[in-house]
Structure 1
């Protein structure tokens, strides 16, 4: 006896829907994009099933607007303070922090490296915990912890204390950067994600700009206030502000799309629908943490992006020594603090423009490769001449090229491995974890004996640039191969007349 074949409001038979669900399940089980179309995914939600395209578009815009206001300003501010903790020691060094604690260059570099040891240890477990918990309380908690570490920096009296304190700050900061990357990729589609990541990367660039102004204001004017040194005030003020922001973040940050209370039921369904379409039909929540980790470990994309992220962090090794590099331009101390701002402002504007272009045209390879090559050219100028104007121009190219690459690498890796969430969390954490090993050795490439050219440091930057290009080529090659397989499965060709489904961004 044949079962009755019903037809829904969109004209789809129950047999058709069963085949779609079977195809989706098959895709979910192997962690690869399913075969469902946007219309078919819409039919899975009771609150969305009967909406017209115009109504869907209006609802989508309403959800994106709500998420933007709830998420973007908060994580941008948190990221700004997060990065201030990484660059503040460089400006404090110019104010006598290293000298007052009696640290040699070797001890100083060891302390800088120790931060990244803690960062490495806390990376993977922290991000795997985040994938299974609510982001608002977890991200707020770790921010409170690293803020406490920043406050403790003001009480340091020795190089050993410096190393211990920086290890703790690195350990507690570890899940934050991959965590907000995971949140962004879980709330925004592959078209929207690059620009959103560029926007919160303003916290990175703004921290470098703000750090210079804070240094100019605090380190130049608060020496001896209530018996404290200027660098102590630097850490106390930054730590106190971070504590306040962490408390506020607990009440403002959203959870995941499937359980956020600031959306109504229909909006929540739209948030889930958007991500299913963007992920090729794969449900983000389908597997547990350990299964996701195993899936990530078996995916070649994970190890290619490990190389790319490592190369980008290596190419950015100058950032911990930016004030010292600027000091070789022989400006006065106040000007040295202030002229750090324009290169980062230029980098941010360029990153936003390129991120919008990358998302709009769904292309990542050339958007990463061309700027990183220009960054390498800037490095060559910086280590090849003592002309201040030329070196400053080279520094602008170097900063813009490397920061743009890091931003787009994050959106690229979460686009080609869109789901499940635990797999994506593992990939982001593994790549970010391995990339931080660069900080174990790159500080030793910028000793004071290399003043004024810092050519040893320039050489390691150029190695990073070359490796970025190599890893981008590998990513594009693998994405192209996988897209050809999807074309074959769908029977798609430029002349087939069929709608092309989800594809890997190359």
Structure 2
């Protein structure tokens, strides 16, 4: 691509040469975007505003999502299984059916996030999942619980992929790991606060309603209220950020042009990009990694409270004992995301490190004797550390997948794998082995080992592909803003943009 020559039209002349689809970023005047003069001070001011507004908003929602996800495990300590007369594997399937709903809505969601205003769509989704959680309190048998769990999964399916798209829309590729980790901190805080909330509800003694019903009603009402807040405040794009001034919105668009990942290519679903995603090895390495490690996630999310009581802790104390699991996740999340943000080419290496730590944790649970409660509890805390990889894996999609439709497709397939892993994982937790669940622990450890293997494959693929492109096209050069904009709105994928290089 040749550089645009200066002309009397200035930056606008570069825009005149751009072939822009009428459906793409209708809210942005590209000439105005390129004509806005930015500065390091203004850029920092915009970044600070984005951090202060978006990160707490998304982090709070993600915290509520995980608190709600943990609720069924906590409800088992309030006699949920006994009151609903659950037999054999019925609780396992009640836990897994949530991910069937999640899986069923992954593909429709990947289409809707392109066609609908993203912020409004996510706000409605949060209201729906909050309402579905409240419906849990009305369940009187296994069938009712299965239906409630399925639609809860439908409500939650859009949140994490949607937040990943928003992060890619507002932040540069270098900034994304830290920001993905920042809102994902809500996951770790949820484990810390969720135990306290459930413990407090467990100390409420009323005869009109069971404690597990009260748990679902309180948490669901809070989530639905938060969904309304998201609907009113979460922006659909930088051009609609109500907390930014008009000039700051232009700067917000301008600062992410170098991403070349097509986050501004909204409003039109492109089927050819779906096919490109299917042919892309990076998608399948991410998908297989996600599938394998979530054997562990599905089991620990649904059975952690029961496993802890098997260590010898009373039921209410087991709710509080879960809190260190969140603390361990938070420590490793901050550590590895910090390294990935400030040390180049370490994202995948940090993911391998977290997964290996989780393998060690599961090994401690498996091999330590029943009398070593502290050691087993340490193992359980370390076993959940792999969850700190979620923001890093999302940042890989935000940074390394170009084309809005391709990005949403890869996100949908990856979250489908997430669902399948969480569906399969609990089935290894055999009821007759309660509360130790040795088969489930060994299956989780095997999944983590395969996860490490696929991460190594992904790392090798990125290195090989970057070197291949350097040989074919030469090292990426500095480009003018109009050239960056041309790549950003060119409707091309990462395989089609010659100057695109993968972040590892």
Query: What TM-score, normalized to structure 1?
Result: 0.86
Q: State the 1:10 CA deviation.
A: 12
Structure 1 segment 7-156 matched on structure 2, within 5 A: 7-8=6-7, 46=32, 48-49=34-35, 51=37, 55-156=38-139
Which of the residues 347, 350, 354 maps onto 1:367?
350
For 2:303 and 2:35, locate their aligned partners in 1 and report how far apart those are by CA, in whole Å: 56
Structure 1 segment 239-258 matched on structure 2, within 5 A: 239-258=220-239
Structure 2 runs not aligned, ≥5 long: 22-29, 480-498
Which of the residues 373, 397, 401 maps onto 2:382?
397
For 1:274 and 1:338, locate their aligned partners in 2 and report how far apart those are by CA, in whole Å: 44
Cα RMSD, aligned residues only: 2.8
Structure 1 runs not aligned, ≥5 long: 29-43
Which of the residues 344, 348, 351 maps onto 2:330?
348
Alignment partner, residue 318 of structure 2: 336
Moved over 4 A (4+): 8-12, 44-50, 280-283, 498-502
Alignment partner, residue 392 of structure 2: 408
Distance change (3 Å), C-alpha of 1:283 and 1:180: closer
Distance change (3 Å), C-alpha of 1:291 and 1:390: same
Which one is further off, 148-157 or 172-181?
172-181
Structure 1 segment 237-316 matched on structure 2, within 5 A: 237-279=218-260, 284-285=265-266, 288-316=269-297
Asked if 2 retains the 8 angstrom alpha-carbon contact of 1:70 and 1:252, the reply is: no
Alignment partner, residue 472 of structure 1: 455
Query: What TM-score, normalized to structure 2?
Result: 0.86
Q: State the number of aligned residues.
A: 470
SS of equivalent residue, structure 2 residue 39 = helix
For 2:170 and 2:348, locate their aligned partners in 1 and report how far apart those are by CA, in whole Å: 24
Asked if 2 retains the 8 angstrom alpha-carbon contact of 1:288 and 1:422, the reply is: yes
Distance change (3 Å), C-alpha of 1:330 and 1:196: same
Query: Residues 405-430 of structure 1: CA distance to partner in whole angstroms, max 9, x if unpaired?
Result: 2221111222111x222211111111
For 2:104 and 2:176, locate their aligned partners in 1 and report how far apart those are by CA, in whole Å: 28
Q: State the 1:452 CA deviation.
A: 4.6
SS of equivalent residue, structure 1 residue 223 = coil
SS of equivalent residue, structure 1 residue 322 = helix
SS of equivalent residue, structure 1 residue 504 = coil
For 1:201 and 1:442, locate their aligned partners in 2 and report how far apart those are by CA, in whole Å: 22
Asked if 1 retains the 8 angstrom alpha-carbon contact of 2:33 and 2:254, the reply is: no
Query: Residues 285-329 of structure 1: CA distance to partner in whole angstroms, max 9, x if unpaired?
Result: 495343442332232222221112112222323222111111112
For 1:216 and 1:298, locate their aligned partners in 2 and report how far apart those are by CA, in whole Å: 48
Asked if 2 retains the 8 angstrom alpha-carbon contact of 1:208 and 1:344, the reply is: yes
Distance change (3 Å), C-alpha of 1:187 and 1:391: same
Q: State the 1:368 CA deviation.
A: 0.9
Distance change (3 Å), C-alpha of 1:10 and 1:315: farther
Structure number with higher relative contact order (C-alpha < 8 Å, ≥ 6 residues apart): 2
Distance change (3 Å), C-alpha of 1:377 and 1:260: same
Alignment partner, residue 303 of structure 2: 321
For 1:499 and 1:306, locate their aligned partners in 2 and report how far apart those are by CA, in whole Å: 33
Distance change (3 Å), C-alpha of 1:184 and 1:11: closer
Alignment partner, residue 35 of structure 1: none
Distance change (3 Å), C-alpha of 1:499 and 1:137: closer
For 1:166 and 1:371, locate their aligned partners in 2 and report how far apart those are by CA, in whole Å: 30
